[in-house]
Structure 1
Amino acid sequence: MDSEEMDLFSKLPDEVISHILSSLPTKEAASTSVLAKKWRNLFAFVPSLDFDDSDFLHPEEGKREKDGIIQSFMDFVDRVLALQGDSPIKKFSLNVKTGVDPDRVDRWICNVLQRGVSHLDLFMDFEEDYSLPYQISVSKTLVELKTGYGVDLYSWDDDMFLPMLKTLVLESVGFGRGQFQALLPACPVLEELMLLNMEWRDRNEILSSSSLKKLKISSEDGCLGTFSFDTPNLVFLDYNDFVAEDYPIVNLQNLVEVGINIALTEDRIDRARDNVWKLIHGIRNAKIFCISPLTFEVLSLCCETMPVFKNLTILNIKSVMQQGWQAMPLLLRNCPNLESLYLGV
């Protein structure tokens, strides 16, 4: 068989080839552009780009420190974006570490924003904090934003507005004072929010959104003072944190599924009974409830005022014999419609 008969792949419809190329790592997909003019043109319309400097430098130990290696990575990203020109793009993923030029990162992000990107994954682990470009905060096409590590939002102004954003994932992201309060109203259709190990500047925060349906909060330092949940249409909550000093608002009336892992710091033990009661009373309408060992121990502090979980049908308790079992009898009595009980360690 001659080479033309063997090259059945090139005879596939252009749309199929572009879809296949978008499933490959960007470095491999870009290499096809040297095969022929047709392949170069096809790669220009690949709607998804994924750049990770650790993949680019793999597998040699210490390769990152070698002269020119990081420069070659940055040049590669520049060439790929230049090759694509102004063609539309759907997803852009970037994961880089110290050594990559932040100014170039800004240009790459602005490039895909101008081309109507709808999904952004941006994780920068620099020695110094990196502020996400202001242009992200006013994107009219962005549907999903995931970002984190050494990232902050300090360059975002009060005019931020993300009318299409439905999913927001922030991990170890820094907020300026009052920024979080301005962010949620700027996302009118936001449905899913993840806040992981955030760097708060305000001690008292209100999470207020009428569109939000899924929420995950995870923290390891318990630095917040008061925290309010004003999310009346939330259906899923995963809350992993220290008990706040107070929960002034707990508006979770449509909650369906909740997982709670809360712990107490020594300075908050005296007021824990009232604070825990506010939180637990706010989730009383849930149908599915998963409780961690630490939560079960904290829950025992307010067992005398346990609310009735009239909608609860599934209860999953992970505990050990020494932690909080005195709350079990009252908790079960206050779940009149419970159908399934799971006990684990």
Structure 2
Amino acid sequence: MGAEKMDRIGSLPEEVLSHILSFLTTKEAAITSILSKRWRNLFTLVPNLDIDDSVFLNPEEGKRERDGILQSFMDFVDRVLALQGDTPIKKFSLKCKTGIDTDRVNRWIRNALQRGVTSLELVLDFPRHGDDSYMYLLPVEMFVSTKLVELSLRSDFGVDWWRGGTNTFLPMLKTLTFESKWILLCDDLEVFLSAFPLLEEFYMADIAWPETDESVSSQSLRKLTIHACGFEDFQNPMSISFDTPNLVYLAYSDYVAADYPKVNLPNLAEALLDFKVTGHQIDLIREPDDEDEVSLRLGNVWKLISGLRNVNKLFISAETLEVSCYFPKRQMFLK
């Protein structure tokens, strides 16, 4: 019965089989090549590649040492890409950590871009060198792709997005995800977002703002999520503006900024707010130099909240309510 079921599966069209294999990791899909002669090269037709070095770095007992495993992983990826040739690819997911040759990583990414990848997920944890002068650089070709629709970047050690990419323009990008404490941008956020004219979803997590004035400005953006971790030893953000007239969803977790000079959110339907105060702000509250300074550094949060007047759903964290207790009473009413 088992053989009959296998025969039934094996008799399916190649397009169906390759679609089934697309739900597996690339290593699992490659293993199916031993099933029979017909399956030998089917995995090379899979339009999705899911490459994860942890599959190799958690081997069964008795396997080779780490260096040998890393080399085996890199050779495996090279072979897979060589076997696939220039067949089109839809999604490329790459998860790599310390020890992988970054030049080869960039070659793999370029390969996916040249084959018209539309969804690119990169989880790359390459630490800086001891002098902090080096950070892994993404390939320049990624900054000018005319095919990318979804892009996700995650790293514990940082992403140098903009270096070498000052001419960035991704005309088809609709979803952008950042999860990293260190994201180096050559220009401010407003200029950065202008490189994505069709962007609809922007997700930033575990980020720390630079000590500058920032503006989230986009005519196309519909969903925005900001989870800023910040650093207790730093001042709170300088100022943050929101000029996103078509935004319908906002999730915003951050330290209270000194000011929110522009809040243009006329179509916002749902908002989640989670504000915190820095140690410096608490010191001002406990021992203010003068009352106006406290008002300036805390009261301006109501400029943002007043801009949410059209929302249907508003979720406010308990910490945000606690922060609101610091505000002067005259600023605690929405206008």
Cα deviation 1:93-124 (Å, max 9, x = unaligned): 01111000100010000000000000011011
CA–CA distance in structure 2, aligned partners of residues 275 and 307 of structure 1: 12
Q: What is the correspondence of 1:113-132 to structure 2 with a 5 Å cutoff?
A: 113-128=113-128, 129-132=135-138
Q: Sequence identity, in percent?
A: 54
Q: Is the 8 A contact 2:204 2:225 kept in 1?
A: yes
Aligned residues: 309
Cα deviation 1:240-294 (Å, max 9, x = unaligned): 1100111111111111000000011243351344321111111122110111111
Q: Does 1:218 align with 2:224?
A: no
1:289 to 305, 314, 333: 314
1:44 aligns to what SS in structure 2? Answer: helix
Instruction: Call closer, same or farther: CA 1:46–1:303 in 2, change over 3 Å.
Output: farther
Instruction: Call closer, same or farther: CA 1:3–1:235 in 2, change over 3 Å.
Output: closer
Q: What is the correspondence of 1:177-196 to structure 2 with a 5 Å cutoff?
A: 177-178=186-187, 180-196=189-205
Residue 76 of structure 1 corresponds to 76
User: Structure 1 residue 66: deviation in Å?
Assistant: 2.7
Residue 30 of structure 2 corresponds to 30
CA–CA distance in structure 2, aligned partners of residues 303 and 64 of structure 1: 67
CA–CA distance in structure 1, aligned partners of residues 273 and 3 of structure 2: 61
Q: What is the correspondence of 1:296-307 to structure 2 with a 5 Å cutoff?
A: 296-300=321-325, 301-307=327-333
User: Structure 1 residue 308: deviation in Å?
Assistant: 4.3
User: Structure 1 residue 4: deviation in Å?
Assistant: 7.5
Residue 149 of structure 2 corresponds to 143
User: Structure 1 residue 29: deviation in Å?
Assistant: 0.2
User: Structure 1 residue 235: deviation in Å?
Assistant: 0.6
1:166 to 160, 165, 174: 174
Query: What TM-score results when the alignment is normalised by the length of structure 1?
Result: 0.83
1:7 aligns to what SS in structure 2? Answer: helix
CA–CA distance in structure 1, aligned partners of residues 165 and 6 of structure 2: 57
Q: Does 1:204 align with 2:213?
A: yes
User: Greater relative contact order (Cα 8 A, min sep 6): structure 1 or 2?
Assistant: 2
Where structure 1 has 5 or more consecutive residues not aligned to the other structure, the ranges are: 310-345
Moved more, 211-220 or 2-11: 2-11
Residue 49 of structure 1 corresponds to 49
Where structure 2 has 5 or more consecutive residues not aligned to the other structure, the ranges are: 129-134, 286-293
In the alignment, residue 209 of structure 1 is paired with which amino acid? S
In the alignment, residue 146 of structure 2 is paired with which amino acid? K
Residue 275 of structure 1 corresponds to 300
CA–CA distance in structure 2, aligned partners of residues 71 and 139 of structure 1: 30
Q: CA RMSD in A?
A: 2.4
Residue 11 of structure 1 corresponds to 11
User: Structure 1 residue 227: deviation in Å?
Assistant: 1.1
1:190 aligns to what SS in structure 2? Answer: coil
